[in-house]
Structure 1
Amino acid sequence: MSKRTHHGRSILLLSVGHACVDVYQGAVAALVPFFVAERHYGYAAVSGVVLAASLLSSVAQPLFGALTDRRPLPWLLPVSTLLGGVGIALSGVSGSYGLTLAFVALSGVGVAAYHPESARVARLAARRAPGGRGGHRGMAWFSLGGNLGFAAAPLLVAAVVGAGGLRLTPLLVLPALAGTVLCLPVLREPERRRAAGAEPPQPSAADDRGSFVKLSLAVVCRSITFVGLSTFLSLFVAQRLGGGAAAGPAGGAAGGTAAGTAALVVLYAGGAVGSVLGGALADRWGRVAVAGWSYLVAAVAVAGVLLVPGPALYLFVALTSAGLYVPFSLQVTLGQDYLPSRIGTASGITLGLTVSIGGLAGPLIGALADATSLRTALLPLVLMPVLSWALFRALPEPVAPESVASESVASARRGEPAQQGEAAQAGA
Structure 2
Amino acid sequence: MTETAPPSAPSLPAVPAAPGIWRRMRLWGVAHAVDDLYQGLVPACVPYFVLDRGYSYVAASGLTLAAALGSAVPQPFVGLAVDRWEMPRLAGIGVLVAGLGLGLSGLVDSYAAVWTLILLSGLGVALFHPAAGKAAREAAGESAAAMSVFAAGGSVGFFLAPVLATPALIQLGVGATVLFVPPALIVGLLLLRGRSARPGGAGAVRTGRDRWGPFLALTGVEVVRSVAFFGVLTFIELYWIRHLHAGRGTAGAALACFLVGGVAGTLLGGRIADRVGSVRTVQLGAVLAVPLFVGLRLAPGPYAPLLFAVLGGVALNIPFAVLVKLGQDYLPGRPGTAAGVTLGLAVSVGGLFAPVLGAVAQARGPEGVFGVLWVLPVVAFGLGLLLREPGADVAP
| 1:372 alignment partner, one of 347, 353, 364 | 364
Whether the aligned pair in 2 keeps the contact of 1:205 and 1:426 (CA below 8 Å) is no
Counterparts of 1:14-413 in structure 2, within 5 Å, are 14-127=28-141, 134-184=142-192, 187-190=195-198, 193=200, 202=205, 204-242=207-245, 256-310=247-301, 311-399=303-391
Q: Distance in 2 between matches of 1:203 and 1:11?
A: 18
Instruction: Flag the structure with more relative contact order, 1 or 2, with Cα contacts below 8 A and sequence separation at least 6.
Output: 2
Q: 1:7 and 1:181 mapped to 2: Cα distance?
A: 23
Q: Structure 2: which 5+ runs fail to align?
A: 1-16
SS state of the match for residue 189, structure 1? coil
Cα distance in 1, alignment partners of residues 366 and 113 from structure 2: 27
Cα-Cα RMSD: 2.0
Q: Deviations over 1:14-43 (max 9, x none)?
A: 111111111101100100121112101111
Shift of 1:308: 1.6
Whole-angstrom distance in 2 between the partners of 1:123 and 1:114:
14
Are the aligned partners of 1:61 and 1:113 in contact in 2 as well (CA < 8 Å)? yes
Change (3 A) 1:156 1:98: same
Distance 1:180 1:204 in 2: 31
SS of aligned partner of 1:241: coil
- The amino acid across from 2:184 in the alignment is A
Distance 2:81 2:355 in 1: 31
One-letter code aligned to 1:179: V
Give per-residue Cα distances to partners, 1:180-204, cap 9 Å, x unaligned: 24435763232x84xxxx6798574
How far residue 393 of structure 1 moved from its aligned partner, in angstroms, is: 1.5
Superposed CA offset, 1:355-413 (max 9, x none): 011111111111122122222233222111111111111211113xxxxxxxxxxxxxx
Matched-pair contact (CA < 8 Å) for 2:70–2:121: no
Please state whether the residue corresponding to 2:374 is helix, strand or coil.
Answer: helix
Number of residue equivalences: 379
Distance 1:27 1:201 in 2: 33
TM-score, normalization: structure 2? 0.91
Q: For residues 269 and 203 of structure 1, do their structure 2 counterparts lie closer, same or farther at Cα, with a shift above 3 Å needed? A: closer
Q: Report the alpha carbon displacement of residue 163 of structure 1 after superposing the two structures with TM.
A: 2.4
Confirm or deny: 8 A CA contact 1:205 1:425 kept in the other structure: no
Letter in 1 for 2:361: A
Say if 2:221 and 2:380, in contact at 8 Å, map to a contact too: yes
Measure how far apart 1:159 and its partner are.
3.0
**Distance in 2 separating the partners of 1:19 and 1:67:** 23
Q: How far apart, in 2, do the equivalents of 1:201 and 1:121 lie?
A: 9
Aligned counterpart, 1:416: none
Larger Rg: 1
2:272–2:281 CA contact under 8 A, matched in 1: yes
Q: Quick one: percent identity of the two aligned structures?
A: 39
- Greater alpha carbon shift after TM alignment, 366-375 vs 46-55: 366-375
**Contact 2:231–2:369 (CA under 8 A) maintained in structure 1:** no
Post-superposition Cα deviations, 1:189-238, rounded to whole Å, max 9, x if no partner, equal 32x84xxxx67985741111110011111111101111111101110011
What SS does the aligned partner of 1:165 have?
Answer: helix
* TM-score scaled by length of structure 1: 0.84
Seen in structure 2, the aligned counterparts of structure 1 residues 166 and 340 have a Cα distance that, compared at 3 Å, is: same
Query: Which structure has the highest helix share of the two?
Result: 1
**Could you tell me how far apart the structure 1 residues matched to 2:206 and 2:182 are?**
43
